[in-house]
Amino acid sequence: MQFLSYLINGISLGSVYALIALGYTMVYGIAKMLNFAHGDVIMIGSYVVFFAFGSAGMNPVLAIVLSMVVCTILGVTVERVAYRPLREAPSLAVLITAIGVSYLLQQVAQLAWTSNPKSFTSVVTGLQPISLFGGQLTISAETVVTIIACIVIMAALIWFVNCTPAGHAMLAVSEDRGAAQLMGVNVNATISLTFAIGSGLAAVAGALLCSSYPTLQPTTGAMPGIKAFVAAVFGGIGSIPGAFLGGILLGVIENLSKAYISTQLSDAIVFLVLVVVLIVKPTGLLGKKVNVKV
């Protein structure tokens, strides 16, 4: 019973990782860059929910929608201002810029809201925990909502990418930017759309993450950001189902090692698993091997 409870909480944590990992993997697939500022977009989103819902008493769903809007604008603006001028630059320059943006967002948050941790009020209100097996197993409402939200978003995203013209344009740009342009795809607009979707999902992930782990400070996004990046690589960076699988597995591994091995070592174990996976299967679990034909 205990095991089941750890497992379900792990899946829930993993769902959050999966949502964040989607932002990494889509941006990597389409813009061919690692957006290390992604984790900090989550943090900004969580602050928006904190103030709108926790302080101003807004409806929680509306607060999340507001946070999605703010994060989308933030993500698209960051891309426009910081990354687009570097489109033809070496990837190292873009990577350093992304790290710079990450620090910038953290420092701005610190100036605006101080580094004192804020106690986040869960956005899941009015729902009772689920009790199973005569009270032996209790699952919190946050856990259930997180898992369901993740599944719904995942399904919607897979439909969007595979069944709409904009989604096909994304696939085309991710495979061959030049050929996509020759089809009439506006590459800049497609990359902006990708950042918009990734950042919007980051807002949802932030609200869900802080509902389960309710301390909010300017560095809140950093560790989940890194772990979600690991999840994306774990599942095969560039692959949407890979981000989902990688996220869930990572959450489960982390929670089970916390429970059965050591709380302090859980992060180390997570990264160790990544190293092992990369040695055995360098493209990640669902990653495709890229054959470059000449």
> Residue 232 class from Cβ within 10 Å (0-12 exposed, 13-18 middle, 19+ buried)?
buried
**Cα–Cα distances in angstroms (integers) from residue 120 to residues 69, 126, 206, in the given order:** 20, 16, 11
**Smaller CB separation from another protein, 183 or 272:** 183
Residue-wise DSSP of 137-205 = EEE-HHHHHHHHHHHHHHHHHHHHHHHSHHHHHHHHHHH-HHHHHHTT--HHHHHHHHHHHHHHHHHHH
Q: Quick check: 135 binds another protein (CB under 8 A)?
A: no
Alpha-carbon span 89 to 74, nearest angstrom: 22
The dihedral sign for the CA sequence 290, 25, 222, 87: positive
Residues 183-222 within binding reach of another protein (CB under 8 A): 183-187
Q: Quick check: 96 binds another protein (CB under 8 A)?
A: no
Q: Quick check: 181 binds another protein (CB under 8 A)?
A: yes
Asked if residue 229 lies in contact with residue 15, where contact means CB atoms within 8 angstroms, the answer is no
Mark the segment that binds another protein (CB under 8 A) among 175-183, 198-206, 213-221, 274-282: 175-183
CB of 166 to another protein, least distance (A): 10
Question: Token match 């932030």: residue?
Answer: 206
Mark the segment that binds another protein (CB under 8 A) among 2-10, 149-157, 180-188, 251-259: 180-188
Mark the segment that binds another protein (CB under 8 A) among 6-14, 124-132, 166-174, 272-280: 166-174
Instruction: Pick from 165, 275, 279, 289 the residue near another protein by CB under 8 A.
Output: 165
CB of 239 to another protein, least distance (A): 10
**Smaller CB separation from another protein, 214 or 241:** 241
CB of 198 to another protein, least distance (A): 20
Q: Quick check: 172 binds another protein (CB under 8 A)?
A: yes
Q: Quick check: 175 binds another protein (CB under 8 A)?
A: yes
Mark the segment that binds another protein (CB under 8 A) among 104-112, 169-177, 224-232, 277-285: 169-177
Q: Quick check: 93 binds another protein (CB under 8 A)?
A: no
**Smaller CB separation from another protein, 189 or 272:** 189
**Cα–Cα distances in angstroms (integers) from residue 9 to residues 3, 207, 250, 277, in the given order:** 10, 16, 12, 23
Q: Quick check: 126 binds another protein (CB under 8 A)?
A: no
Sequence-distant (≥ 6) Cβ neighbours of residue 158 within 8 angstroms? 240, 241
Which residues here bind another protein, judged by CB under 8 A? Answer: 165, 168-169, 171-172, 175-176, 178-187, 288, 293
